[in-house]
Amino acid sequence: MKTAITIHALAAALGALGSASAQAADGTLDPTFGAGGVAYMALDGVEGHQLAPRAMSVQHDGRIVLGGWRNKIIAGTPDPRMRAMVARLRPDGSPDATFGADPALPGLSVLPDLVVGTQMQWVEAMRVNDDGSLYVAGSCFAFGPMHGFIAKVRADGTLDTAFGDGGVVLFRGLQLHDMGVDSQGRVVAAGEHVGGTPQYRGVVV
């Protein structure tokens, strides 16, 4: 059975970005977007069961990009299997079939296992580049060594292997929560170092 996952607060965010239709009053759901003003993505119950966006951006062409995690439930264990994901919707709220490698799950790109052994891996921040590629930052932890990560994702949803190590840069002992890109294309991310005395310290990479 497919599980429909609401894209959290998407309609409200789009309204703030000026997407309100002439058919909808300010502050109300736009019925021309998604299903009655709300966009959904359906998982197949095999490759994934839950989607949770934690970051959102809009490309110059109006396509909507979301980052967060996908959880795959494994029978017989209560442990999570969250993997970092990026999803892209068309301006009308439908999944963008040109994004992601799985035709059964259009618009969804699940990143590979970034730190083997960690059960919770998720995107917390993103920036869209002019060519449609993305930088994403986030954290990997639980049941394995904690790492922060920055990854570059091509416009088709695949990792850009020319960036870092196969598309990813890892930072041991960190969690990364926000990021930016300066005028020279340099990526800056902020978060915290976990462990030591004091236990948490703010970091910028």
Mean pLDDT over 11-22 rounds to: 43
> Residues 128, 130, 133, 137: is their CA dihedral positive or negative?
negative
Which pLDDT belongs to residue 20? 41
Percent of the chain with pLDDT over 70: 88
Reading the block at residue 115, the tokens are 């730190």
Q: pLDDT of 160-174, one tens digit each? A: 999 999 999 999 999
* Contact indicator for 203, 189 with CB cutoff of 8 Å: no
Which pLDDT belongs to residue 17? 44
Percent helix, strand and coil across the chain, each to the nearest 5: 5, 45, 50
Mean pLDDT over 34-47 rounds to: 89
Which pLDDT belongs to residue 24? 65
Q: pLDDT of 91-128, one tens digit each? A: 999 999 999 988 889 999 999 999 999 999 999 999 99
Which pLDDT belongs to residue 7? 45
> Residues 6, 110, 93, 163: is their CA dihedral positive or negative?
positive
Against a cut of 0.75, is the pTM above it? yes
* Contact indicator for 205, 176 with CB cutoff of 8 Å: yes
